[in-house]
Structure 1
Amino acid sequence: MTVDAHHHVWNLSVRDQEWITGPELQPLRRNFGITDLARVAGAAGVDRTVLVQTVTVAEETPEFLALAEESPLVAGVVGWTDLTRPDVAEELARLLEVPGGRRLRGIRHQVQAESDPGWLLRPDVRRGLAAVAEAGLVYDLVVLPHQLPACALAAADHPGLTFVLDHLGKPPIAEGTLDPWASTVRELAALPNTVCKLSGMVTEADPARWMPDDLRPYADTVLEAFGPDRMMFGSDWPVCTLAATYGQVLRTAEALTAGLAESERHAVFAGTATRVYRL
C-alpha cells in the first residue's frame, strides 16, 4: 500500500487559480481532476491520497469533501477556513456535517503569502488553531523558511494539535544552501506534535536540471530530524509536473529513502499518513 499525502485538483471553469501567473506556471493553467490523478497515481501503485486546499475560498472545501465522498482514491481532505473568524469552531463543526464531511482531516492556510512572519502567533489565529485541535483535526503548514521559527512557537503553544509541515518548509534547494533552514526545521522537529511531508522538493530545485542527489541533503535532514515515523510522502501533483512526472516524484522519494529499514519505508509511504490523517 502507498499513500500520497499531498496533492491538488482544480477546475478553472469553476474557479480561477489566481496564483498561476507568469510563463513558468503556464503549464498548470488547465484543469486537473480526480480522473487525471487516478490515472497517474494508479500507474504508480498509489492506493490512497489526501487532497489539499489550493485557494483561500470557503466554497472550495465543501467541493473537495464532495469529491472525496465520491472517489475511492481520495481518503482525506485538508481544507481551508478562516481561522480568524469569531465563529471558527462553529464553521468547523458545519464542515464536518456537509456531504463528505467525514473525510475532513485537516485545515491549511497559505501562511507563505502572509507578510507577517509571526502570523501564526496572532491571538485570533491562536484561537483558530485551538478550535482546529478541539475539532480533532490537524493543521498543515505551508510556509517559507523564515516563518519556521513561528511554526515552532505555535506548535509549542498547542501541544494537543498535530502540525504537518508541507514541502519540508520550502528549503532553498536551487541555491544549494542548508542553513538557516536546516537549523530552524530541526527546532520544529524537536516538538513531538510535528510531522513533515517529503514533498515539493522537485519544484524547489532547478526544475529543468535537478537530480536526486540535489535533493538528498534536504531529505536526509528532515528524515534525521523527524524520524521516518513522522515523515510522509506527498507528490504535490499537479504542481510537481513543472519539474517531473508523478512517477518520477515517487521513484525519487523511494531512492532517497532506500537506506531505511522496510518498516521505516512503510511509515514514510503509508503508515504515518494513515495514522496522522486517520485514513
Structure 2
Amino acid sequence: MHSYFPHLRPDWLFLHKEDVLDPGLAIIDPHHHLWQTPEFSYALPQLQADVGSGHAVRATVFVECLSHYRAHGPEALRPVGETEYVVQHSGPAQSGADMCAGIVGWADLQLGDQITPVLEQHIQAGQGRFRGLRSRPTWHADPAIHALGAGHAEVLLQPQVQQAVRALGRLGLTLDIWVYHTQLADVARLAAACAQTTLVLNHCGGPLGVGPYAGQRDAVLHDWQTQMQALSRHPNIVVKLGGLAMPRCGFGWHQAARPVGSQVLASAWAPYIEHCIAAFGVQRCMFESNFPMDKTGCSYVTLWNAFKRLAGGASAGEKAALFEGTAARVYRL
C-alpha cells in the first residue's frame, strides 16, 4: 500500500465506544479527504458514516489528496479532475451535513503567475465550492521522516511559489499548508511575503515525534511553541487544530491493544491545542478531523469528544468560533 494511505482497522476502532458529548454543538469539519483506489477507499459512504455518527456536523471541507486527477490534457490542469470528482460527491447528506461545502484543491505553485488560468479552471469546475489550494512541502533531511512526506526543502521561499500564493489572494482564495514543525520559519517568511493571502496552517504546525524526535517530546514542544508564537504575529495565518492522531506525531496509539478514549487524547493534546488558542485566538483557530488520516488512532466520535473536552472551559461564543465560525469565515461557507 502507498505510504500516503492510512492503515485503517475498523474492527480495532470498534473496541472502544463513547457517547457523544454536547451533541447539539454545531460543527464544520474543515479538513477531510476522499480516496477511491484499488489499494484504498475512503469515499463518500465512509465519510457520511463518520459525519453522521452523532456529532452535529453542519458542513465539511474537502482537502486535496492526489486523487482523481484527469488522465489526459495539459499537465498543469490535470489536478482539476479532483475538484470535478468532489463536486459529483458533494451536497446534503442524510445527517443534514452539506458534504464538501468547500473544496481545497491542488495546483503546482511553481507555475508562478501562470497559475491563474489553473485556478480559474478549478473555480469553474467547483461550481461555487472551490475555496483554494493546499501545498504540502513536508520535508526533513532525516530519511526516516522524509519517507513520510513528499515535499522539498525551502520550496515556500522560491520567488515563483510566492508569486503563485499572491495570485491566490487576488482571487480571494486561501492556501492550506502542511509542513513539519522544523519548517515553520519558512511559513512565517511566506506569510510576510504574501500578506494579502490567507494561509491555513494544517495539523497544529506538524510537531514530529518519530525518527530523531522520538522520545524528545519536551524539546520538540518548546521549539514548536516558540515557532508558533512567532507565526501568530502574522495576521494572515489561521491554524487547524488536529492531525495529532497521525503516527508521525509519535504518540503510538495506533499500536495499542485497544483504542484510547477521548480523555486520554485530550490530556495528551492539551499543550498543543491550548498554546495555539492562546497564541492565535479563537477567531484564527478551527478544529479539524483530518479523516481518514487521524482515523488510524481514533474514531470520529472519540476525536470530536476530545476536542469538546479541550474546549470545556471556553465560553459559548469561543466554542462557536472554534467548532464552526472560523471555518465558516475562512472558507466562506
2:144 aligned partner? none
Residue matched to 2:273: 219
Specify the code of the residue in structure 1 equivalent to 2:65: T
Cα distance in structure 2, aligned partners of 1:271 and 1:62: 29
**AA in 1 matched with 2:104:** V
**Residue 24 (structure 1) aligns with:** none
Distance 1:120 1:170 in 2: 16
Share of identical aligned residues, percent?
A: 31
**Structure 1 match to 2:252:** 206
The equivalences for 1:175-254 within 5 A come to 175=215, 176-177=217-218, 178-203=221-246, 204=249, 205-208=251-254, 211=264, 212-254=266-308
Match for 1:134 among 170, 177, 186?
Answer: 170
Quick one: which of 68, 71, 77 aligns to 2:90? 71
Structure 1 residues not aligned, in runs of 5+: 14-28
Tell me what 1:11 maps to. Answer: 36
1:241 Cα deviation from its structure 2 partner: 1.3
**C-alpha displacement of 1:89:** 0.9
- State the distance in 1 between where 2:200 and 2:106 align: 14
Shift of 1:61: 4.1
Q: Distance in 1 between matches of 2:48 and 2:115?
A: 33
- Structure 1 partner of 2:327: 273
Name whichever of 100-109 and 1-10 sits farther off.
100-109
| Structure 2 counterpart SS, 1:136 | coil
For the residue of structure 1 that corresponds to 2:197, the secondary structure is coil
- What does the per-residue CA deviation read over 1:73-115, in whole Å, with 9 as the maximum and x for residues that have no partner? 21101100001125211111121112x3421111012211333
| TM-score, length basis structure 2 | 0.74
Residues 231-240 or 47-56, more deviating:
47-56
2:146 is aligned with 1:103: no
Counterparts of 1:258 and 1:65, CA distance in 2: 39
Please say if residues 5 and 233 of structure 1, whose CA atoms lie closer than 8 Å, have aligned partners that are also in contact: yes
Distance change in 2, residues 1:121/1:184 (3 Å): same
SS of the aligned residue for 2:111 comes to: coil
Q: Secondary structure at the match of 1:263?
A: helix
Provide the rounded CA distance (Å) in 2 between the counterparts of 1:78 and 1:255: 28
Alpha-carbon distance, 1:144 to partner: 0.6
Equivalenced residues, count: 262
Could you tell me which amino acid in structure 2 is paired with residue 243 of structure 1?
Answer: G
C-alpha distance in structure 2 between counterparts of 1:232 and 1:189, whole Å: 14
Q: Distance in 2 between matches of 1:34 and 1:156?
A: 38
Partner Cα separation in structure 2 for residue 96 and residue 161 of structure 1: 17
Are 2:106 and 2:133, in contact at CA under 8 Å, matched by a contact in 1?
A: yes
Distance in 2 separating the partners of 1:40 and 1:182 = 32
Tell whether the 8 Å contact from 1:51 to 1:64 is kept in structure 2 after alignment.
no
1:25-36 matches, within 5 Å, as 29-36=39-46
Q: Give the structure with higher Rg (CA).
A: 2
CA distance in 2, matches of 1:179, 1:81: 34
CA shift in 2, pair 1:219/1:30, >3 Å: same
Query: Does the Cα contact within 8 Å between 1:142 and 1:165 map onto a contact in 2?
Result: yes
Deviation at 1:172, TM superposition (A): 3.4
Q: Which amino acid aligns with 1:71?
A: S
What letter corresponds to residue 51 of structure 2 in structure 1?
A
RMSD over equivalenced CA pairs, Å? 1.8
Name the counterpart of 2:50. 40
